[in-house]
Chain A
Amino acid sequence: MDNKINAPTFSAKTKMSEIITSSSLLSIIERLNIKLGFGEASINEICRRNNLSTELFLKICKVYAVESFVPDIENLTREDIPEIIGYLQRTHKYWTGSFFPNLHSNIHTMLDSCDGTSKRMLNKFYDDYDEEIKKHLDYEENTVFPYILSLIDSEQKNANSYRIKDFEENHSNIEEKLQDLKNIVIKYLPESASQQSRINVLNEIFKIEDDLNKHSIIENKILIPLVSKFE
């Protein structure tokens, strides 16, 4: 077991209904395609019904629920890999399909009340960030995930020279600019920008910053080490 002092005490035997205490834990359920209506069933029981490894489920929950928790890959198997990728892909889909377009329109509303220069620069800043996100996710979806899935699918060694190490080395940080944007909105936007529109943008950013962070932890600390075991 992990030795974090502040780790919430949930385990395989905990009732599933008891750990759904925040929107981030709820979104894990959603992204793993687990249906609500748990009754009194334990985490173990629900995972079994959904053909999902309890170990993996607990690790993902702890990444979200426990501040600065760093997961390891102990007790995870080859069979968990497609499940992890599915989880990551559904997260990407939520970001690109709903979250970022929404943030974008909120930013537009906010910048409408700014003067020419700030408006132009921040628009460009956000467009560049948008592009950065798109590139990051496209690379994972079109290069990394297909590579991994074909690797664990076929018994023989992969013919092309791509390795998970290439992902590790190129895995960019998509949180930095969002933090910059957040601080610019909190600290430096000219007074002409409407208060309500700023608050809307900030609330959106608060919703996503943790999600981005935890997502990277799952990629860097679970997916990459686990895949490299099977190369």
Chain B
Amino acid sequence: MSTKHKVTIIEPSEIVSAGLKQLVEYGGNFHVVKIFKSIQDYSENQNGNPDIILINPSVMNIGDTNERNILTTKDNVSIVAICYLAYNEETLRNYDGCIGMFCTQEQIEKKLQSALKTSSDKEQDDNSNELSARECEILTAVAKGKTNKEIADEFNLSIHTVISHRKNISHKLGINSIAGLTIYAVMNKLLDVEDF
């Protein structure tokens, strides 16, 4: 398929978003469908149904799940940070990639491609009815009572990815409550009864 991947930009500076749009679209693989100045702006308007959201971390508190949820109403959307300054690793781990002020056009292209790959991996998982090995690990951690943040730390994933895994797990099993997931984990010997 040769359709272009859709990109939405959330960035307060017009200079930066206009420049980014140029560079992102240059290679012909990506198309910037919408540009927003703030997260409010984004949430109040049609978001253009993007495959990738490019966002300046300073416009949102990514640890805030509410704000996070505003961005991820669609499954498999990748979120890439626009970085003016060096953010700490902790913050950036919540993103599927990061574009800096000194990135070249080729580097941007590569980063967007690899952010997309992260999400197409997820799609592949979705197609199988069985839980993947990663999903089993995450399910076990959930059943042990770990929070999304703890799971993200343990497996070196973004919180966004953990949430997306959890959605897929619940969807496949038809079980949403933690108590129900725990029963599944024990019945399928993912977890020892002695563990709790």
Task: Label chain A's interface by main secondary structure.
Answer: helix
B187 surroundings in chain A (CB, below 8 A):
117-118, 121, 184, 188-190
Task: Label chain B's interface by main secondary structure.
Answer: helix
CB atoms of B179 and A179 under 8 A apart: no
Q: Which residue of B lies closest to A183 (CB)?
A: B174
- Does B18 make an interface contact (CB < 8 A)? no
Which of A128, A176, A188, A190 has the most B CB atoms < 10 Å from its CB? A188
- How far apart are the CA atoms of A190 and B187 in the complex, in Å? 8
CB atoms of B186 and A177 under 8 A apart: no
B186 surroundings in chain A (CB, below 8 A):
117-118, 121
Contact with B along A178-213 (1 / 0, CB 8 A): 011111100111100000000000000000000000
CB atoms of B176 and A121 under 8 A apart: no
- Does B59 make an interface contact (CB < 8 A)? no
B185 to chain A, nearest CB (A): 10
CB atoms of A184 and B179 under 8 A apart: no
CB atoms of B183 and A122 under 8 A apart: yes
- Does A38 make an interface contact (CB < 8 A)? no
> Given known contacts A117-B193, A118-B187, A121-B186, is B174 in contact with A187 (CB within 8 Å)?
yes
- Does A125 make an interface contact (CB < 8 A)? yes
Q: Among the listed A118, A177, A187, A188, which residue makes an inter-chain contact with B179, where contact means beta carbons less than 8 Å apart?
A: A177
- Does B184 make an interface contact (CB < 8 A)? yes
Question: Interface on A for B, CB 8 Å cutoff?
Answer: 117-118, 121-122, 125, 128, 176-177, 179-184, 187-190
Which A-B residue pairs are the 9 nearest by beta carbons? A180-B180, A183-B174, A180-B175, A121-B183, A180-B177, A177-B177, A176-B176, A188-B187, A117-B193
